[in-house]
Structure 1
Amino acid sequence: MSLSAVTAHRAQLGEGPFWDGPTQALYWVDIAGKQALRLMDGQLRMWRMPEHVSAFIPCERGDALVTLSSGIYRLDLATEALTLLCQADPHPGNRGNEARCDAQGRLWLGTMQNNIGEQGEDLPITRRSGGLFRVDADATVTPLLQGLGIPNTLLWSDDGSQVHFGDSLDGTLYQHGIQADGGLASPTVWFGPHPRGGPDGSAMDADGYIWNARWDGGCLLRLTPTGEVDRVIELPVSRPTSCVFGGPELTTLFITSAASPLDHPLDGAVLAIDVDVPGKPCHRFAG
């Protein structure tokens, strides 16, 4: 497996990679740098946001969603105009973190106490004030969980009956049953703390294995459907943050990363690696 950086861009806190199949484009964000980024046809484009941005997800109608500190906004990609869609989390002092769309095109957003200052500096986390919210195409917001520390990883089973969801403050990936009314059953521990860093974002491959980025662990863990370590993929960055399958056959794994005190040359880069199993596609927001 050979690794390479897809652009010369280096993020303070790269996150939220999304692969858009119809346009063969990679979307991601620099949360601390307040940037939404897209790589399409070899061209990198950046949209500067007025607030910290945790996700950048295209919509079926042609614009995109950005999850900012003050709410979820539509971004007109041509004019750069922002329009508020909804405020999912009304808790003051929180910000978005993890965000993905399920197979129905509904946005699931995990929030947390803001831990980033205006200059991108780290702030302490002193409370578990985060939550998990589902946003439908018509902007209806449904609260699902509360009392979260650092939400990370959102992946669904093929039949939509289970969701994998992590809390990095616990060092744990959980599994929730999705009930008939759309609510979540009580969590079960699916993969607990591991010596190779804390759990960050993840991607699922076609075999149902989860590739989990390990913050401060310098690697990805490929985990079996039953939560065992299948392999360790060593990385030239110390803080990988998330990953997504992309490319024409979904066999390229794109990995976002963050700056770190170790100051490795590729810290903050988006890495690409060809893998031997295809991944599952991303879903646009249905609205």
Structure 2
Amino acid sequence: MRAGTKAGGARSRLAVAVRESALLGEGPTWDPASGRLIWVDILSSRVHTYDPADGRRTVMLAEQHVGAAKPRAGGGLVVNLRDGIGLYGPDGAFSWLIHDPVPGRRGNDAAVAPDGSLWAGSMRYDERDGGGALIRVAPGGTVTEALTVTVGNGTGWSPDGRTMYYVDSPTRRIDRFRVDGERIADRSTVATIERGAGLPDGLTVDADGCVWVALWDGAQLRRYTPRGELDRTVELPVRRPTACAFGGPGLRDLYITSARTGLVRPHPLAGSLLVLPDAGQGVPGTPFAG
């Protein structure tokens, strides 16, 4: 299959990395230590890994609905669960780092900052306005609440680490913050997604400092420059792409998760992990330091 781009641009061949029927595939993350891509199916409470070198896959059942899973510096995973932040050791043993259940709320997308802290979003199952939060979790478990949000979603940093990009999906915006030590400040809007084009969901930032964002209900990926200019659009065969991340050799391939939840007639590839080979240059990620 081919992925369409903006007029005048090159065309790249979109492929299926993992054919799957995930209800709510999310959070692709490249783990350089294992050479695998990690991603989750939130509503099925599953953590998937995929090795593009040999096609091998693993699936782990999490303790509860899992919004994100990220590598830890000493091995294992940090996970954003329904009731808080959990840790899996290299041996698979589970423990709570933060256990803070709130009825009707669950963890959603998360990302690890260049300093090794975890920035984790949450939301209410009924998506009530202001029902979620974006928190910073230090390696030792200290929590700082940064924002009140509705659907805490894509989070990423500029290559120099001085700017954080963030999506609270119902706002339709990609926002930008100045990073000041452990805090964020000076919120501004990079881009607003027009009505009818879907909602911004997960994002990643490439080595050029451009932001790639998945459009839920928009069947697209878009790439925006730091100035907010739309310079690439990738048409997708799935209506609900959820997030994207660079991975593979040299961090050149762009992996895309997708969902089938809520669709009456989902595309056969809905819920699969897609890949756009040689899409650009990714930035090496940082494992959670806890």
Q: TM-score, normalising length from structure 2?
A: 0.90
Q: Is the 8 A contact 1:238 1:262 kept in 2?
A: no
Name which of 50, 70, 81 aligns with 1:57: 70
Name which of 13, 16, 22 aligns with 2:27: 16
The residue number in structure 1 matching 2:114 is: 103
Q: CA shift at 1:162, angstroms?
A: 1.6
Q: CA shift at 1:90, angstroms?
A: 6.0
Do structure 1's residue 284 and structure 2's residue 287 form an aligned pair? yes
User: How many residues matched?
Assistant: 274
**What are the superposed Cα offsets for residues 7-43 of structure 1, whole Å, 9 maximum, x if unpaired?**
2322000001100112210000000111011113421
Q: CA shift at 1:268, angstroms?
A: 0.3
**What are the superposed Cα offsets for residues 172-220 of structure 1, whole Å, 9 maximum, x if unpaired?**
111112234x222242121113242110001111111111100000010
Q: Is the 8 A contact 1:11 1:269 kept in 2?
A: yes
Do structure 1's residue 193 and structure 2's residue 193 form an aligned pair? yes
Q: Could you say what secondary structure the match of 1:169 adopts?
A: helix
**What are the superposed Cα offsets for residues 205-238 of structure 1, whole Å, 9 maximum, x if unpaired?**
1111111100000010111111111011011111
Letter in 2 for 1:131: A
C-alpha distance in structure 2 between counterparts of 1:193 and 1:246, whole Å: 26
Q: Is the 8 A contact 1:16 1:55 kept in 2?
A: yes
Name which of 89, 92, 95 aligns with 1:76: 89
Distance 1:34 1:25, change over 3 A: same
The residue number in structure 2 matching 1:134 is: 136
Q: CA shift at 1:276, angstroms?
A: 4.3
Distance 1:8 1:193, change over 3 A: closer
C-alpha distance in structure 2 between counterparts of 1:163 and 1:68, whole Å: 23
Structure 1: stretches of 5+ with no match in the other structure = 116-123
Structure 2: stretches of 5+ with no match in the other structure = 1-11
Q: CA shift at 1:240, angstroms?
A: 0.3
C-alpha distance in structure 1 between counterparts of 2:143 and 2:31, whole Å: 24
Do structure 1's residue 28 and structure 2's residue 39 form an aligned pair? yes
Q: CA shift at 1:66, angstroms?
A: 1.4
The residue number in structure 2 matching 1:120 is: none
Name which of 77, 82, 85 aligns with 2:97: 85
Q: Is the 8 A contact 2:159 2:283 kept in 1?
A: no
Question: Pairwise CA RMSD of aligned residues?
Answer: 1.6
Q: Could you say what secondary structure the match of 2:147 adopts?
A: strand
**What are the superposed Cα offsets for residues 50-87 of structure 1, whole Å, 9 maximum, x if unpaired?**
31101111111111111111111112354x43200114
The residue number in structure 2 matching 1:6 is: 17
Q: CA shift at 1:286, angstroms?
A: 1.1
Letter in 2 for 1:133: I
The residue number in structure 2 matching 1:184 is: 184
Q: Could you say what secondary structure the match of 1:249 adopts?
A: helix
**What are the superposed Cα offsets for residues 258-281 of structure 1, whole Å, 9 maximum, x if unpaired?**
003331010000001113421112
Letter in 2 for 1:8: R
